[in-house]
């Protein structure tokens, strides 16, 4: 498959849909999404669709990954710095590892945590050929964060719960940003952005989204 051309077309569509950050478009144009899905789904790898990755979980659609990474790069500490990378990022819900790979292009270090051992191992196998030395895969409950990597310039979650765990806010650096799905007032789910500054935190609810549930414990 001439994947570079197919990816370039995907990136053009993302730009037409309003993704404007060059760092995000560059990252999605680089990471070979077809390396993260089952061979039977490779032909769909660059369509704007979520795909099954096993154990009842899904890889998020490219437009949603792009949107969340773009929001993350809007963290207070990066305002007015359109070329800078984020510092350390915590990625909750590794899944197949695709988003962790994308994040490695826009952040200095990526700590990515998964609660399902089968997917943690699948992500390890998927990422191996890319030799991304700044991606650290962790097996554990992401609701607890990962204190050893804290404080984080950004925290991004691919699974949504009723609340944003207090540990994430504790482990976020001043000037950092959390981007995560969360239950909204109408019982659906919406993206929430939380910024941390010297005075405290600011929270904004954005558009509705559909992510798998954020669960507790490991399995």
Positions in the binding site for ligand SAH (CB under 6 A): 53, 57-60, 92-93, 95-96, 98-99, 113-116, 119, 141-143, 158-159, 212, 214-215
Closest CB to ligand SAH among 49 and 76? 49
| Alpha-carbon separation of residue 171 from 60, 94, 201 (angstroms) | 25, 18, 13
The encoded tokens of residue 213 equal: 């549930």
Q: Nearest distance from residue 81's CB to ligand SAH, in Å?
A: 25
Q: Which of 60, 108, 112, 184 is catalytic?
A: 60
The encoded tokens of residue 51 equal: 């795909």
Q: Nearest distance from residue 98's CB to ligand SAH, in Å?
A: 4
Distance of CA 205 to the CA centre of its chain: 17
The encoded tokens of residue 155 equal: 């925290």
Distance CA 99, CA 102 (A): 5
Closest CB to ligand SAH among 113 and 193? 113
Q: How many residues does the chain have?
A: 219
Question: What are the residue ranges of helices labelled H in the chain?
Answer: 3-16, 22-30, 62-72, 98-103, 117-127, 166-171
The encoded tokens of residue 211 equal: 């992510």
Q: Nearest distance from residue 206's CB to ligand SAH, in Å?
A: 18
Is 104 a residue of the active site?
Answer: no
Q: Nearest distance from residue 28's CB to ligand SAH, in Å?
A: 12
Annotated active-site positions, please? 60
């Amino acid at each position: 498959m001439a994947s570079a051309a197919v990816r370039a077309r995907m990136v053009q569509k993302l730009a037409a849909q309003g993704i404007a950050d060059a760092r995000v478009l560059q990252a999605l144009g680089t990471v070979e999404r077809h390396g993260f899905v089952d061979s039977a789904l490779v032909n769909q790898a660059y369509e704007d669709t979520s795909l099954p990755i096993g154990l009842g979980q899904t890889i998020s659609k490219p437009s949603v990954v792009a949107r969340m990474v773009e929001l993350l790069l809007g963290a207070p500490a990066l305002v007015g710095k359109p070329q800078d990378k984020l510092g350390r990022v915590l990625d909750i819900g590794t899944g197949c590892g695709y988003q962790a790979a994308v994040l490695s292009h826009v952040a200095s270090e990526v700590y990515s945590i998964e609660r399902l051992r089968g997917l943690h191992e699948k992500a390890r196998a998927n990422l191996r050929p890319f030799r991304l030395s700044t991606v650290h895969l962790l097996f554990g409950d992401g609701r607890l964060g990962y204190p050893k990597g804290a404080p984080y310039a950004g925290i991004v979650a691919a699974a949504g719960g009723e609340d944003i765990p207090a540990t994430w806010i504790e482990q976020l650096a001043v000037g950092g940003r959390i981007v995560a799905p969360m239950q909204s007032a109408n019982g659906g789910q919406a993206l929430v952005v939380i910024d941390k500054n010297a005075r405290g935190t600011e929270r904004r609810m954005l558009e509705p989204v559909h992510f798998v549930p954020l669960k507790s414990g490991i399995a």
